[in-house]
A = this chain, B = another copy of it.
């Protein structure tokens, strides 16, 4: 069995229970009814972007590869399913031998997406595809929500570096995945040591208000920090009076003080004052870090302020108002029998209230103008038109159950930067609007 590589600092043997019960009861009924072996195609897509958002960001793909490879039912899990009578013995026998042997294609991690984009396509027997629904959606819905927020914040920050600091505001393991997604979306560092351990994301952090309060005076605290961490450290200057703290900080660390951090108040005003004070004290190289409840709008509003970097917590890990994407995993085609050569037939549910689906496996390509700027997300069934062959978005991710698209996290991060650069300029607008590319169904 492979190492699971969930984002834990340890190996985890199985992802098989990150599954809604109905997937296993459907499996049981299909095994009994003789339909479990029908070749099937499931697609992951969204019907809409979060309100006002102009693009989505695919993130979590690398984690999906790990989760699919480690989707195995060990004896302890099987015993749980038996004891709880979740499924019958025939199904338990089938699960005991299970590993996914199908194919997965999809948008590579860091790519942007739009309503209807076929972000992932899972092909195999009904049985082996249906059980992956929840774990695939959990990963993509969470990670893509954070990456989309991160991307907007990175755009708002211009070239200034962003540090992810949201671990305390979300589940302790979601936090690790959030750090990873934020990095894909353009963040530079994280405060979360587990994310550094697991994914090699650069970590940072120096001190909190508690450290100042531990000492009898602010000067004692600064001195202790500088003695231990050196003068290139970041001193937190808003525990008591900021102007006095900045003066003390430069006295203690000297003009080579690395940075000061401001975590409260009117950041625009304070940053200007602190910059002026630092310059007057000769600490011209000392940077200013701000960290108070920032989101993409607050970051944008500080564009003209003398701020060197931003620390972002709550709003990042909660997707800046949209903590999940609305990705769904739908059966779009299946064979009429379990003969290996039985042709695939498009299927779709009618549904109500906008919940209908479009049948058939789909390709996707990005149409571009003469300057190479994207202008359409083209989604279609059947053959890909010749002029779009080179503009296709989906790549092979898993072949016959084996991941074929593992890559360093920096590759996804670079890909996102490139994808963003290829969108119309209005993608960078923070104001609410329509998706920056229309989706054209062929």
Contact = CB atoms under 8 A, between A and B. Distances in A.
Interface of A: 6, 8-10, 12-15, 17-26, 28-33, 35, 38, 40, 42, 67, 76-77, 80-81, 84, 86, 88, 126, 130, 133-135, 137-139, 141-143, 165, 167-178, 191-194, 196-197, 203-216, 220, 223-225, 227-229, 238-241, 263-266, 292, 314, 317-319, 323-324, 326, 329-331, 334, 336, 347-353, 355
B264 A352 contact: yes
24 contacts: A18-B173, A18-B176, A18-B193, A32-B228, A33-B215, A35-B214, A42-B210, A80-B197, A134-B167, A137-B168, A138-B167, A138-B170, A138-B175, A139-B171, A170-B324, A171-B171, A171-B174, A209-B330, A209-B331, A212-B349, A213-B348, A240-B349, A241-B350, A319-B323
Contact of A191 (B21, B317, B331): B21
Nearest to A178: B171
Contacts of A17: 9, 193-194, 197
A81 B193 CA distance: 9
Contacts of A203: 21, 84, 86
A66 to B, nearest CB: 11
Contacts of A241: 350
Contacts of A194: 17-19
B175 A170 contact: no
B133 A213 contact: no
A214 B349 CA distance: 11
A318 B314 contact: no
Nearest to A18: B172
Given A29-B227, A40-B214, 17 more contacts: A6-B173, A8-B12, A9-B17, A18-B193, A22-B206, A24-B205, A30-B224, A33-B215, A33-B220, A126-B214, A138-B175, A171-B178, A238-B351, A239-B351, A264-B353, A265-B351, A314-B326
B172 A138 contact: yes
A106 to B, nearest CB: 17
Contacts of A20: 165, 167-168, 191-193, 205
B225 A193 contact: no
Contacts of A135: 172
A15 B373 CA distance: 46
Contact of A133 (B168, B330, B331): B168
Nearest to A335: B214
B209 A265 contact: no
A216 to B, nearest CB: 7
A67 B173 CA distance: 12
Nearest to A167: B134
Contacts of A212: 349
Contacts of A15: 172
Given A19-B193, A170-B174, A191-B21, A213 B77 contact: no
Contact of A240 (B25, B227, B350): B350
Contacts of A86: 193, 203
B171 A205 contact: no
